Structure 1
């Protein structure tokens, strides 16, 4: 009668050939609870190749399943889960991992889904992949995507979206995603110059927190245009920590803006620059932020390791940059 069932076995180590499948199969056969809210399954190489794992997912879906985490590491090929899983009205969290054959039907709709995680799964075909990228998930509030495939994808019908992390090489269908992404409160971007330019044209009317992680990009111009389209922004982070390439080889372009974004004159309170490189363009950008952010409370700047030899001189130079906000605390590291 338990509403939560958790079956976990080791997927490696000396006992990996011993499977809990028999116990899982028999216990679910005897399970009589009218509602099965949470089903967690992790099966290793010892799971029999003829095990019908899909039938218990079907049973869980029929019992108003809320959360499913399924990791299948058996020695046989990927297995397909029931199509009813991809139209489950009660499902809020779905995690699929390893030997799962993802076969999203064209009419996939998960109206209550809040969290979707896929790790090392296998797509049935190109059509299934396309169907997944067009999945209807109107309840999603957090969106996290890392995609280096350059495939087409979009963010559609996510009216509740509050937070988005986008780390991609390509964002071809950005026009289809404008409505959903423009409503986010928090946004973290890890993009190339081209994608940043396209994203900077979106009107972020609700955006409060923005993190930009430059990736082989001339990001200064697109960022300033994005700030013009984010009138309520309070927290801005420029983060070079994950720029796994010689940053100095990527040229930056700085053109003094003719106008000041509304967020800087009325809302921006927190500014941070991680791994500042002391290039002329970086200094001009930092000077512009400090000289025009009327409400700034804290400005934190950490120096890139490659600048450590002249760190003291750099910090001294930065400390002398004028600040228009009389309450701004400048923290230099």
Structure 2
């Protein structure tokens, strides 16, 4: 059998496509295969290095340094560096990044663990004319934005657990990304910004996550072009969210009650799909949602607050075209006897009479008010096609069976609707 080298006979474009799909470390080793390969690898447009070892030498930086020095492609499509261990003090991260920017890199990802010393990006990163996507993840990386940054081509920016030189570093950065479409921000306790401001007219999707319980932090969002929003800020001040007339999809996690204030969620009135994780629903009972078609509520009673279900009826009255209603009623075990207020409304919400097709209730515990609420939905939803439920996690097996039988026995005005008794894992659709 002959050992003919057919791969080396392939066209350069095809070889480059093959090499672009494998890690940089393996790409470099191809240079020993033949003189033909020794020339081709320097033209690979994508460089990727993932070092998942807990211990090792500084090979990643030496390899990248050599790779970038010898790189001959007109445009470097992407440089992705992911390291899971602390590296040597003499590892020059800035040099590698700066060299990549000089090679007109379009996508740059730097995912690093915390380091003994502070890391900073070279200044040319903030003035790159070619960067389309920038991902930064490192708890000891300082975003130090110069006074005149300019990233005219940047479409996607991901900032994960970085820190900022001052209160306005992120503001300067965002205000000088005129084409930015997608933004993801994750903050931790090391983050020194007390008021995080996002005012980006071009922004289409935004993910914001922060779990710090310090009350001094606040969040300002004013991006009128937003269509998708994921907001995980359980303890922050969200009253400064505004101006989202085109928002279509949103998911929000927030644990601070707003009993006398409907500012919260007011700017979400245009959504079609809404996921909420709250401790009470009074904050959205007075807001109209004329386009809402799918609503998912995770209701968590974390203390002895009255977990009233009545505001849900006001919510339904304000959501006339709602087709999918999904409720996860999670009550901590120490509050299993918490009263749930309920009074039968005087009129039936329009969505129940003409639109609601899917109703899901997880963690069904069978309390009186809980039963009455569910029974009301089933008895008035004329277009209902599917009903799903699961028993409360805290119930014993015999009690679970009993509660499911109670649920099955409830009257449904839509005789053709299908009832599915599921585990919690099978509930969400």
Scaled by the length of structure 2, the TM-score of the pair is: 0.64
Q: Which residue of the partner structure matches residue 141 of structure 2? A: 100
Q: Do the aligned residues in 2 keep the contact of 1:299 with 1:331 (CA within 8 Å)?
A: yes
Q: Which residue of the partner structure matches residue 275 of structure 2? A: 188
Q: Which residue of the partner structure matches residue 380 of structure 2? A: 292
Q: Is 1:4 matched with 2:46?
A: yes
**1:254 CA displacement:** 1.3
Name which one, 1 or 2, has greater alpha-carbon Rg. Answer: 2
Q: Is 1:73 matched with 2:113?
A: yes
What CA RMSD, in Å, does the superposition of the two structures yield over aligned residues? 3.3
Matches within 5 A, 1:249-268: 249-268=337-356
Matches within 5 A, 1:108-147: 108-109=173-174, 110=177, 111-118=179-186, 122-123=190-191, 125-126=192-193, 130-131=195-196, 133-134=197-198, 136=200, 138-141=202-205, 143=207, 145-147=209-211
Q: What secondary structure does 2:172 align onto?
A: coil
**1:3 CA displacement:** 3.1
Q: Do the aligned residues in 2 keep the contact of 1:297 with 1:325 (CA within 8 Å)?
A: yes
Q: Which has the higher contact order (CA 8 A, sep 6+)?
A: 1
Distance 1:43 1:118 in 2: 19
Distance 2:335 2:127 in 1: 46
Q: Which residue of the partner structure matches residue 230 of structure 2? A: 164
Q: Cα–Cα, structure 1 residues 244 and 294, in superposed 2: closer, same or farther, change >3 Å?
A: same
Q: Cα–Cα, structure 1 residues 60 and 206, in superposed 2: closer, same or farther, change >3 Å?
A: farther
**1:134 CA displacement:** 2.1
Q: What secondary structure does 1:29 align onto?
A: helix
Distance 1:69 1:55 in 2: 15
Equivalent pairs, count: 324
Q: Is 1:321 matched with 2:410?
A: yes
Q: Cα–Cα, structure 1 residues 160 and 136, in superposed 2: closer, same or farther, change >3 Å?
A: closer
Q: Cα–Cα, structure 1 residues 155 and 63, in superposed 2: closer, same or farther, change >3 Å?
A: farther
User: What is the CA deviation profile of residues 247-268 of structure 1, one whole-angstrom value per residue up to 9, with x for unaligned ones?
Assistant: 4154322122233333222222
Q: Which residue of the partner structure matches residue 30 of structure 2? A: none
User: What is the CA deviation profile of residues 281-326 of structure 1, one whole-angstrom value per residue up to 9, with x for unaligned ones?
Assistant: 1111101111122221101110113333323332222222111223
User: What is the CA deviation profile of residues 102-153 of structure 1, one whole-angstrom value per residue up to 9, with x for unaligned ones?
Assistant: 3334233243342525375843x33xx534x425273333635353434211
Listed as ranges, the gaps of 5+ residues in structure 2 are 1-42, 143-162, 248-267, 423-429
Distance 2:96 2:314 in 1: 51
Q: Do the aligned residues in 2 keep the contact of 1:49 with 1:74 (CA within 8 Å)?
A: no
Q: Is 1:35 matched with 2:75?
A: yes
Q: Of 230, 234, 244, which aligns to 2:319?
A: 230
**1:20 CA displacement:** 0.9
Q: What secondary structure does 2:390 align onto?
A: strand
Q: What secondary structure does 1:168 align onto?
A: coil
Distance 1:65 1:264 in 2: 54
Listed as ranges, the gaps of 5+ residues in structure 1 are none
